[in-house]
Amino acid sequence: MKPRVLVVEDEAPLAAMLRYNLEKEGFEVEEAANGEEALTKIAERKPDAVLLDWMLPLVSGIEVCRQLRRSPATRGLPVIMLTARGEEADRVRGLDSGADDYVVKPFSPTELVARLRAVIRRAQPAAGAETLRFADLTMDLGAHRVTRNGRAIHLGPTEYRLLKFFLEHQGRVFSREQLLDAVWGHDVYVEPRTVDVHIRRLRKALNAPGERDLVRTVRSAGYALDVED
Protein backbone atom coordinates (compact mmCIF):
# COMPACT_ATOMS: atom_id res chain seq x y z
CA MET A 1 0.00 0.00 0.00
CA LYS A 2 1.22 3.49 -0.82
CA PRO A 3 2.28 5.59 2.15
CA ARG A 4 -0.11 8.54 2.63
CA VAL A 5 1.34 11.98 3.27
CA LEU A 6 -0.59 15.06 4.28
CA VAL A 7 1.04 18.19 2.87
CA VAL A 8 0.14 21.26 4.93
CA GLU A 9 1.21 24.28 2.95
CA ASP A 10 -0.64 27.53 2.17
CA GLU A 11 1.45 28.45 -0.87
CA ALA A 12 -0.25 26.70 -3.78
CA PRO A 13 2.80 26.49 -6.10
CA LEU A 14 4.89 24.86 -3.37
CA ALA A 15 2.07 22.47 -2.48
CA ALA A 16 1.79 21.51 -6.16
CA MET A 17 5.54 20.97 -6.42
CA LEU A 18 5.48 18.74 -3.34
CA ARG A 19 2.53 16.76 -4.65
CA TYR A 20 4.27 16.25 -8.00
CA ASN A 21 7.50 15.01 -6.42
CA LEU A 22 5.87 12.82 -3.81
CA GLU A 23 3.46 11.16 -6.23
CA LYS A 24 6.35 10.48 -8.56
CA GLU A 25 8.06 8.66 -5.66
CA GLY A 26 5.03 6.50 -4.95
CA PHE A 27 3.33 8.44 -2.15
CA GLU A 28 -0.37 9.17 -1.96
CA VAL A 29 -0.79 12.90 -1.28
CA GLU A 30 -3.47 14.79 0.63
CA GLU A 31 -3.36 18.56 0.98
CA ALA A 32 -4.40 21.09 3.58
CA ALA A 33 -3.94 24.84 3.12
CA ASN A 34 -3.98 25.76 6.80
CA GLY A 35 -3.59 24.33 10.29
CA GLU A 36 -7.31 23.98 11.01
CA GLU A 37 -7.88 22.03 7.84
CA ALA A 38 -4.85 19.87 8.62
CA LEU A 39 -6.14 18.93 12.07
CA THR A 40 -9.60 18.14 10.65
CA LYS A 41 -8.18 15.96 7.89
CA ILE A 42 -5.89 14.11 10.29
CA ALA A 43 -8.81 13.46 12.64
CA GLU A 44 -10.89 12.11 9.75
CA ARG A 45 -8.20 9.85 8.36
CA LYS A 46 -4.74 9.60 9.84
CA PRO A 47 -1.94 9.80 7.25
CA ASP A 48 1.37 7.94 7.55
CA ALA A 49 3.25 11.24 7.83
CA VAL A 50 2.70 14.99 7.76
CA LEU A 51 4.76 17.60 5.93
CA LEU A 52 4.01 20.70 7.89
CA ASP A 53 4.87 24.24 6.86
CA TRP A 54 5.98 26.45 9.74
CA MET A 55 4.37 29.64 8.40
CA LEU A 56 0.66 29.04 8.02
CA PRO A 57 -2.37 31.32 8.32
CA LEU A 58 -4.56 31.00 11.45
CA VAL A 59 -2.82 28.19 13.33
CA SER A 60 0.99 28.05 12.96
CA GLY A 61 2.79 24.86 12.05
CA ILE A 62 4.36 24.75 15.51
CA GLU A 63 0.93 24.90 17.14
CA VAL A 64 -0.44 22.19 14.85
CA CYS A 65 2.49 20.00 15.81
CA ARG A 66 1.95 20.64 19.53
CA GLN A 67 -1.71 19.73 19.20
CA LEU A 68 -0.84 16.52 17.39
CA ARG A 69 1.59 15.56 20.14
CA ARG A 70 -0.94 16.29 22.87
CA SER A 71 -3.45 13.79 21.56
CA PRO A 72 -2.74 10.08 22.19
CA ALA A 73 -4.20 9.24 18.76
CA THR A 74 -1.62 11.33 16.92
CA ARG A 75 1.29 11.37 19.37
CA GLY A 76 3.32 8.96 17.24
CA LEU A 77 2.39 10.47 13.88
CA PRO A 78 5.61 11.37 12.01
CA VAL A 79 5.88 15.11 11.33
CA ILE A 80 8.46 16.92 9.21
CA MET A 81 8.47 20.70 9.52
CA LEU A 82 9.09 22.77 6.40
CA THR A 83 10.48 26.20 6.94
CA ALA A 84 12.24 29.12 5.40
CA ARG A 85 14.07 29.74 8.62
CA GLY A 86 17.42 28.14 9.18
CA GLU A 87 18.46 29.48 12.54
CA GLU A 88 19.65 26.96 15.11
CA ALA A 89 17.21 28.39 17.68
CA ASP A 90 14.32 27.86 15.26
CA ARG A 91 15.47 24.34 14.55
CA VAL A 92 15.41 23.57 18.24
CA ARG A 93 11.98 25.21 18.63
CA GLY A 94 10.64 23.14 15.76
CA LEU A 95 11.94 19.92 17.26
CA ASP A 96 10.81 20.95 20.73
CA SER A 97 7.26 21.29 19.46
CA GLY A 98 7.47 17.60 18.67
CA ALA A 99 8.45 17.51 15.00
CA ASP A 100 10.45 14.42 14.03
CA ASP A 101 12.56 16.22 11.51
CA TYR A 102 13.07 19.60 9.96
CA VAL A 103 13.71 20.67 6.37
CA VAL A 104 14.76 24.19 5.39
CA LYS A 105 13.42 25.79 2.20
CA PRO A 106 14.61 25.65 -0.48
CA PHE A 107 15.20 21.92 -0.15
CA SER A 108 15.98 19.17 -2.61
CA PRO A 109 12.97 16.91 -3.28
CA THR A 110 15.28 13.88 -3.13
CA GLU A 111 16.42 14.77 0.36
CA LEU A 112 12.87 15.44 1.49
CA VAL A 113 11.68 12.07 0.19
CA ALA A 114 14.58 10.31 1.94
CA ARG A 115 13.74 11.99 5.23
CA LEU A 116 10.08 11.22 4.82
CA ARG A 117 10.80 7.54 4.27
CA ALA A 118 13.07 7.57 7.33
CA VAL A 119 10.45 9.05 9.70
CA ILE A 120 7.78 6.65 8.42
CA ARG A 121 10.14 3.70 8.89
CA ARG A 122 11.08 4.84 12.40
CA ALA A 123 7.42 5.14 13.36
CA GLN A 124 6.66 1.55 12.39
CA PRO A 125 8.54 -0.66 14.91
CA ALA A 126 6.49 0.80 17.77
CA ALA A 127 3.31 -0.69 16.35
CA GLY A 128 4.37 -4.17 15.30
CA ALA A 129 7.64 -5.42 16.69
CA GLU A 130 7.62 -7.50 19.83
CA THR A 131 11.33 -7.22 20.44
CA LEU A 132 13.48 -4.10 20.17
CA ARG A 133 17.22 -4.49 19.74
CA PHE A 134 20.25 -2.27 19.86
CA ALA A 135 23.84 -3.54 19.93
CA ASP A 136 23.86 -6.31 22.61
CA LEU A 137 20.68 -4.94 24.20
CA THR A 138 17.26 -6.58 23.80
CA MET A 139 13.85 -5.42 25.00
CA ASP A 140 11.07 -8.00 24.89
CA LEU A 141 7.90 -5.90 24.90
CA GLY A 142 5.55 -8.82 25.51
CA ALA A 143 7.45 -10.19 28.50
CA HIS A 144 8.50 -6.70 29.64
CA ARG A 145 12.04 -8.01 29.90
CA VAL A 146 15.34 -6.31 29.12
CA THR A 147 18.63 -8.11 28.67
CA ARG A 148 22.10 -7.02 27.76
CA ASN A 149 24.51 -9.62 26.50
CA GLY A 150 22.21 -12.26 28.02
CA ARG A 151 22.23 -10.59 31.44
CA ALA A 152 18.86 -9.52 32.89
CA ILE A 153 18.53 -5.74 33.34
CA HIS A 154 16.17 -4.48 36.00
CA LEU A 155 14.60 -1.10 35.32
CA GLY A 156 12.11 1.11 37.08
CA PRO A 157 8.98 2.04 35.08
CA THR A 158 10.35 5.42 34.00
CA GLU A 159 13.70 3.99 32.93
CA TYR A 160 11.84 1.26 31.04
CA ARG A 161 9.76 3.80 29.11
CA LEU A 162 12.82 5.96 28.52
CA LEU A 163 14.77 3.02 27.11
CA LYS A 164 11.81 1.91 24.98
CA PHE A 165 11.57 5.40 23.53
CA PHE A 166 15.31 5.42 22.77
CA LEU A 167 15.10 1.97 21.18
CA GLU A 168 12.29 3.18 18.94
CA HIS A 169 14.40 6.16 17.83
CA GLN A 170 17.94 4.79 17.79
CA GLY A 171 20.76 7.23 17.18
CA ARG A 172 18.52 10.29 17.36
CA VAL A 173 19.40 13.03 19.82
CA PHE A 174 16.60 14.25 22.07
CA SER A 175 16.57 17.33 24.25
CA ARG A 176 15.45 17.01 27.87
CA GLU A 177 12.19 18.74 26.93
CA GLN A 178 11.53 16.28 24.13
CA LEU A 179 12.19 13.35 26.44
CA LEU A 180 9.85 14.84 29.03
CA ASP A 181 7.08 15.18 26.46
CA ALA A 182 7.60 11.72 25.04
CA VAL A 183 8.18 9.74 28.21
CA TRP A 184 6.47 11.69 30.98
CA GLY A 185 3.74 13.26 28.82
CA HIS A 186 2.67 16.81 28.17
CA ASP A 187 0.30 17.10 31.08
CA VAL A 188 2.78 16.70 33.89
CA TYR A 189 5.20 19.37 34.92
CA VAL A 190 8.59 17.88 35.63
CA GLU A 191 11.88 19.74 35.96
CA PRO A 192 14.14 19.11 32.95
CA ARG A 193 16.84 18.11 35.42
CA THR A 194 14.71 15.09 36.38
CA VAL A 195 15.64 13.64 33.00
CA ASP A 196 19.30 13.66 34.00
CA VAL A 197 18.50 11.68 37.12
CA HIS A 198 16.69 8.97 35.18
CA ILE A 199 19.37 8.88 32.49
CA ARG A 200 21.92 8.27 35.25
CA ARG A 201 19.83 5.40 36.64
CA LEU A 202 19.36 3.97 33.17
CA ARG A 203 23.10 4.05 32.51
CA LYS A 204 23.86 2.44 35.83
CA ALA A 205 21.42 -0.39 35.09
CA LEU A 206 22.56 -0.93 31.51
CA ASN A 207 26.31 -0.66 31.72
CA ALA A 208 28.24 -3.30 33.60
CA PRO A 209 31.87 -2.41 34.41
CA GLY A 210 33.96 -2.58 31.24
CA GLU A 211 30.95 -2.43 28.91
CA ARG A 212 30.42 0.33 26.37
CA ASP A 213 28.09 3.11 27.45
CA LEU A 214 25.00 2.84 25.24
CA VAL A 215 23.66 6.29 26.14
CA ARG A 216 25.42 9.17 24.49
CA THR A 217 25.37 12.63 26.07
CA VAL A 218 25.37 15.38 23.47
CA ARG A 219 26.59 18.56 25.07
CA SER A 220 23.90 21.28 25.23
CA ALA A 221 21.62 19.17 23.02
CA GLY A 222 20.52 16.13 24.99
CA TYR A 223 20.80 12.36 24.87
CA ALA A 224 20.74 9.54 22.35
CA LEU A 225 20.88 5.76 22.35
CA ASP A 226 24.13 5.48 20.49
CA VAL A 227 27.70 4.32 20.83
CA GLU A 228 30.76 6.47 20.38
CA ASP A 229 33.01 5.42 17.51
Q: In the complex, what is the shortest distance from the CB of residue 195 to Ca ion, in angstroms, rounded to a whole number?
A: 33
Q: For residue 75, what are the CA distances in angstroms to 79, 98, 158?
A: 10, 9, 18
Instruction: Choose the stretch contacting Ca ion; rule: CB under 5 A; options: 7-15, 39-47, 96-104, 159-167.
Output: 7-15
Q: In the complex, what is the shortest distance from the CB of residue 134 to Ca ion, in angstroms, rounded to a whole number?
A: 38
Distance of CA 83 to the CA centre of its chain: 17
* Pairing state between β 28-32 and 4-8: parallel
Query: CB–CB of 79/68 below 8 Å?
Result: yes
Residue 55 in the binding site for Ca ion (CB under 5 A): yes
Q: In the complex, what is the shortest distance from the CB of residue 84 to Ca ion, in angstroms, rounded to a whole number?
A: 8
> What CA–CA distance (Å, rounded) separates 175 from 181?
10
Instruction: Choose the stretch contacting Ca ion; rule: CB under 5 A; options: 55-63, 81-89, 153-161, 168-176.
Output: 55-63
Q: In the complex, what is the shortest distance from the CB of residue 110 to Ca ion, in angstroms, rounded to a whole number?
A: 22
Residue 100 in the binding site for Ca ion (CB under 5 A): no
Q: Indicate the residue among 10 and 28 with the shorter CB distance to Ca ion.
A: 10
- Give the chain's length: 229
Instruction: Choose the stretch contacting Ca ion; rule: CB under 5 A; options: 50-58, 61-69, 82-90, 195-203.
Output: 50-58
Q: In the complex, what is the shortest distance from the CB of residue 162 to Ca ion, in angstroms, rounded to a whole number?
A: 35
Query: CB–CB of 34/58 below 8 Å?
Result: yes
Instruction: Give SS3 for 96.
Output: helix
Q: Indicate the residue among 34 and 178 with the shorter CB distance to Ca ion.
A: 34
Helix axes 12-24, 109-123, angle to 10 degrees: 70
Q: Which of residues 10-49 bind Ca ion (CB under 5 A)?
A: 10
Q: Indicate the residue among 75 and 105 with the shorter CB distance to Ca ion.
A: 105
Residue 53 in the binding site for Ca ion (CB under 5 A): yes
Q: In the complex, what is the shortest distance from the CB of residue 93 to Ca ion, in angstroms, rounded to a whole number?
A: 16
The DSSP call for residue 144 is T
Instruction: Choose the stretch contacting Ca ion; rule: CB under 5 A; options: 2-10, 71-79, 180-188, 199-207.
Output: 2-10
The half-sphere exposure of 206 on its side-chain side, counting CA atoms within 13 A, is 25
Angle formed at CA 69 by CA 133 and CA 35, multiple of 5 degrees: 135
Shortest Cβ contact with Ca ion: which residue? Answer: 55
List interacting residues with Ca ion (CB under 5 A).
10, 53, 55
